[in-house]
Amino acid sequence: MTTSAVRVTRAEYCVIACAEAWRDNGEVLASPMGLIPSVGARLARHTFSPDLLLTDGEAMLVGPDGRPEGWLPYRRHLAMVTGGRRHVMMGASQIDRFGNQNISCIGAWERPARQLLGVRGAPVNTLNNPVSYWVPKHSTRVFVPKVDMISGVGYDSAAAAGPSATRYHRIPRVVSNLGVFDFATPDHSMRLASLHPGVTLDEVGEATAFELAVADEPAYTREPTPEELRLIREVIDPDGLRDREVRP
């Protein structure tokens, strides 16, 4: 059976796109934040990235089936962060064309309209290890020309801070419910890397509040293999929770 004979949902394309963030990462700690990134990280571990380290969110290393494989004390976790041996996929309340991320507040810092999580670990994450982002609802409220506050450091902000900030700074990709984006441009501005099947270029443009770099013929997010679909549907997320985060 080929995937062409099976209807792949938008959520499953998002899982594939998130999983691909950890391809060829080797033995690093995958830190997915969100349901679909978590399914993606486990799928990557099951298939093309068998050396990935996964945690239960507390103090245990776990396998792709969620069973304990070892102990990861917090001090060791921090050592992996500062040593660059972790790849985080965070969320973003706002993200701009250079990859600056905001999870702190909406509006002016002096008097914000909304208070959010705070910067959390975003500055340390972005300056010490690769950080990708997951946005389940792509809109002009999230993809903004300039974030209201910088939590995660983007390429322009890192460059302005100098070599100490740029040495380990890297944003491999941004995945949304509409497509995949990267910063593979001369000025490190955001580029549309692929559309999820069924999404049009106009849809992405209307949902983004800045001009994206776009190839003449944008690619499409790859199809899952039959084995990947089986793992997603029968092993990793048999209850179909992914469709609650990105509805069919």
* Residue spans per domain, the chain: 3-242
For residue 169, the SS3 value is coil
pLDDT at 5 (0 to 100):
58
pLDDT at 20 (0 to 100):
98
pLDDT at 15 (0 to 100):
98
pLDDT at 219 (0 to 100):
93
For residue 107, the one-letter residue type is: G
pLDDT at 3 (0 to 100):
52
To the question of domain 3-242 being in CATH 3.60.10.10, the answer is no
Both tokens of 27, joined, read 């033995």
Distance CA(213)–CA(182), nearest Å, equals 10
- DSSP string spanning 107-153? S-TTS-SEE-S-STTHHHHHHHS-EEEEESS--TTTB-SS-SS-SB-
For residue 53, the SS3 value is strand
| Furthest C-alpha separation in the chain | 58
Q: What is the mean pLDDT of each run of 10 residues along the chain (248 residues)?
A: 71 98 93 94 96 82 83 77 86 97 91 85 89 98 97 97 93 98 96 97 97 88 97 97 92
Q: What is the pTM of this model?
A: 0.92
Going through 45-117 in order, the beta strands assigned E by DSSP cover 54-55, 60-62, 68-71, 86-90, 94-95, 101-102, 105-106, 114-115
